[in-house]
Structures are given as structure tokens and as C-alpha cells.
Structure 1
Amino acid sequence: MADRGLEVVGVDPAGASLAVARGKPGAERVRWIHGTAESLPVLSVELAVMTANVAQVFLTDEDFVSTLRAIRRALAPHGLLVFEVRDPSRRAWLGWNREETFSSTSIDGVGDVEAWCDLLDVQGELVSFRWTHHFTGRGESATSDSTLRFRSRESVAACVGAAGFALQKVRGAPDRPGREMVFIVSAGTGRVP
């Protein structure tokens, strides 16, 4: 988007992720903010996007609605927010095991790195899992535990409404048909043309 001359602001609470993003070609044309949606300055943007199923990291309705409200404050009066969540009916977590997620990559200066995911727990809508990265040359491993919330379409829509957004459309992800729900919501109360 920045390459097309659009003003782009990226926000992320993970400093390491921002460091990677800042190293990408064209990154100097993006305004990077280390923080959360609540860290956004006064803006009036036409489009906000939450990528990579980030909407699922908010485990309580209160946290999700608070984040949505912060994004809404950054939007122009009829700006749009687009985000995706995994469809809970597909039960994606059933494939979160070493056998189905294992990969091995050779990285210059690091060596071979094996990675896999293990499902840890499922409690209602909350799914906990662990990613393991094993550095074969060093014989060392690093793990990262996470929990995601798999909300229903109705639950997501309720949070969207509580944050003051108007639901415009829910569609599938074209690159993951039937596996994800893409929500398109507007900051205004009317339908977007």
C-alpha cells in the first residue's frame, strides 16, 4: 500500500515483529508504532486491517471491544475495519500437532531449524497451544505458548456492535475457503457504498 503512495501506519505490541517489519523493502514509507490499538494517535484513516487472526488473541469480550473501540477512534467517519477469524466449526486446532505442522528450514548463519505446534488444552472457546522451534545444530529449543479464542460469528458480531461499528459483510477468505470468516465493518451507522 505504501508503494502505491498511500499513507500507512503499522502498530504491533511485539518489538521483535516490528524490527522484522522495519527491515522489509519499502518499510521506510510506513509509520511504525510499538504498542496496541490504544497507542494509536489521533488519525482519520479510511481503512484499518487486523491481520493474521489477531482478533482471536483477545480472550475476553471486554478486551476485544476495547481494542475495537480504539480502532474505531482512528477511523474516518465512514472508515472500514477488516479482520478475519478462524471458523470455530472447522475445529482447526485438531490439526495442531507435530505430525501435521512439522517443518524444517535451513537458515544462513543459524543452520537447520525444525518447527511444530502442539495442542495443549481446549476449554470451551479457548484453545491453548505451543510452538516449538528446535535449532538442530545447537541442540536447543525455544517454545512459545499461546491461547486463542474461537468466537462464533454471532459473538464476534455482538462485540463489533458493542464497539459502535456497523456490520457490513461477513465473507470467506479467498485463500482459505470455508476456514475463516472475514468481517467488514464500518465506523458509520449506514451501509458503505
Structure 2
Amino acid sequence: MYSETYSDADTAALYDLLNPWDGTRHRSDAFYNGLVMRADAVLDVGCGTGVMLHAARARGHAGRLVGLDPSTAMLDRARRRTDIEWVRGTAQDARWEREFDLATMASHAFQCLVGDDELRASLAAVRAALRDGGRFAFETRHPRARAWEEWNPSHARELVDGAGRAVRVWHEVVEVAGDVVTFTESVGRTDVGADVGADGGVLRVDRTRLRFLDVPALGDFLAEAGFTVEAQYGDWERGPVVAGSREIVTVARRV
């Protein structure tokens, strides 16, 4: 039976099904796994359900691991491991001072920093949390790849969620304004016909805004915040950023 609504807890559980962390299958996960395992103290900003830090601990990471996220439902799932510190808050809420060797924002979480003031405050807080020479690793979608053009109902995914419900998940772009894309993510039932947008089948709709910074703009924000770009890649195999790159993978160092 379907409930009338799809709760925050349901959505957090669905996120794990849609985005399983597996360094043997996903090069992006392997990239972050390597960085995390080589760092003594790690702050994962926008940690979500904590799967990256869970994987690090399971692989034998013996140092300090801290996950920061604004979502209570996501952190409730993260707290299934009690040997990691979990903190509720946004990037700009971070109040640590020189405590970490590495900070991360995986799974395109950096793109959730939409406004200039929010972005500057977040970068300042992340830099403050890092020890001298500490590194900040994150990725953003390259704006030239126009990833949002694939965010439409024709790319819907169907699966059985953690409660045994057959659901369909799809995205629809609402607006593209400069370098900010607004879109919705909908969860719907699969037993109401082929039209994924049928009102009777929609269980939940969430609205999100993401910022697509190009390389020069990103570099300006990092330099202003007191970072230098140590490495920048256009893919997870560490290839250069070129016109056809879909990602901008950045490793910046506190200076």
C-alpha cells in the first residue's frame, strides 16, 4: 500500500538506493575514497546519509571523521554508524578552526551554494576548518555540458524503495537563469499508467536550485577565499578540463 505522502525519511532512504556508494563501480567514489583514506582528519560538508564516511571507516580509517549536513532525515540515516561525528548545519555554519587535513563536498553538493554571499561564507568556513596546507576537494558539473537538458521525465528511473513500494523518480527543469538552474525532483507511483506526470501518481515534489560555475569564476571565488588550485580535472580519470568535459573536479589547498 502507498501512503498519501512521501516523508523526509522515505526520501533519505530512496537517495541511498539511487546513489549507492561503491568505489569498485564508480570512479568518482574511488577518487574520494583515495583522498579520504590518506587524510588523518576529514570533514565531509553536505555529507547526506554519510555513505562516504561509512565506507572510509569500514575500510579501516582510524582517524577523525566528521559529517556536516542540514537535513535531519539524512543525518538520521548517517547515524547508523556511531563511530563518526555527525553535525547538523550548512557549510557556512561550520565553526571549526584548523582541525582537518581534508574537507570534501562530494556528489555535486558544492553546486547547492547558489548565492555569492552564501558561497563566500561557506568557502571562508571551510578554509578556517582546515589546517595550514589542508586540502578541499569537490566537483561541479561543467556548464558547457548542459547536464540539465537531460533532466526531464524521459529519463525517469523506476525502482522498489526500502519500504517495498514501486516508485518512479524524475526531474523537470523550471528555469535557467544565468548560471543557476532551478528544477524539481518528483517521486511517483508506477501503477497509474505511463504518464509520469499524472497528478494522481505524484507522492512528493522537491524543488532545488544549483549553480553552474565555469572554471574562471570558480577560480576567482577560491582565490578570494584564500585557496590555491592544486589540481583540476575534467573527469574522474584525472584528465584535463577541456571543452567537452562534463565535470570540473577541483582539489584546492589552503594558503
Q: Normalization by structure 1: what TM-score?
A: 0.88
Aligned to 2:254: 187
Q: Contact 1:104–1:114 at 8 Å: present in 2 too?
A: yes
109-118 or 143-152: which moved more?
A: 109-118
- Structure 2 residue runs of 5 or longer lacking an equivalent are 1-55, 192-199, 240-244
Deviation of 1:65 (Å): 1.3
| TM-superposed deviation, 1:74 | 0.6
Count matched residues: 184
Contact 2:94 2:126 (C-alpha < 8 Å) held by counterparts: no
- How far residue 170 of structure 1 moved from its aligned partner, in angstroms, is 1.0
Structure with more contact order per residue of length (Cα contacts < 8 Å, sep ≥ 6)? 1
User: Helix, strand or coil for the counterpart of 2:175?
Assistant: strand
The answer as to whether partners of 1:84 and 1:180 remain within 8 angstroms in 2 is yes
| Residue of structure 2 equivalent to 1:191 | none
Please state whether the residue corresponding to 1:141 is helix, strand or coil: strand
- The amino acid across from 1:82 in the alignment is A
* Pick aligned residue for 1:162 from 224, 227, 231: 224
Does residue 53 of structure 1 match 2:100?
no
Contact conserved, 2:98 with 2:132, CA < 8 A, in 1? no
**Deviation digits for residues 100-119 of structure 1, max 9, x if unmatched?**
2x111113534111111111
CA distance in 2, matches of 1:106, 1:99: 19
Structure-1 separation of matches of 2:163 and 2:111: 34
Query: What code does the residue aligned with 1:57 have?
Result: C
Instruction: State how 1:8-157 maps to structure 2 within 5 Å.
Output: 8-23=65-80, 27-37=81-91, 38-100=93-155, 102-136=156-190, 139-157=201-219
Query: Aligned partners of 1:159 and 1:165: how far apart in 2?
Result: 9
Structure 1 residues 117 and 175, CA gap change in structure 2 (3 angstroms): farther
Deviation at 1:43, TM superposition (A): 4.5
CA distance in 1, matches of 2:238, 2:161: 28
Q: Which amino acid aligns with 2:64?
A: E
Q: Residues 176 and 149 (structure 1 numbering): CA distance in 2 closer, same or farther, change over 3 Å?
A: farther
**The residue matched to 1:181 in structure 2 has which SS?**
strand
Whole-Å Cα distance in 2 between the matches of residues 108 and 57 of structure 1? 26
Higher mean C-alpha deviation, range 160-169 or range 71-80: 160-169
Return the offset for 1:124.
1.3
User: Which sits farther off after the overlay, 168-177 or 150-159?
Assistant: 168-177
Identical positions, percent: 28
Q: Which runs of 5+ in 1 are unaligned?
A: 189-193
Given residue 15 of structure 1, which amino acid in structure 2 is its aligned partner?
Answer: T
- Change in 2 beyond 3 A, CA 1:16/1:4: same
Deviation of the 1:22 alpha carbon: 1.8
Q: What is the CA-CA distance between 1:61 and the residue it aligns to?
A: 1.9
Matched-pair contact (CA < 8 Å) for 1:111–1:136: no
What is the DSSP-based 3-state SS (H/G/I as helix, E as strand, rest coil) of the residue aligned with 1:29? Answer: coil
Cα distance in structure 2, aligned partners of 1:187 and 1:104:
42
Amino acid at match of 1:64: L
Q: Report SS of the residue matched to 2:117.
A: helix
| Bigger mean CA deviation after superposition, 171-180 or 31-40 | 171-180
TM-score, normalization: structure 2?
A: 0.67
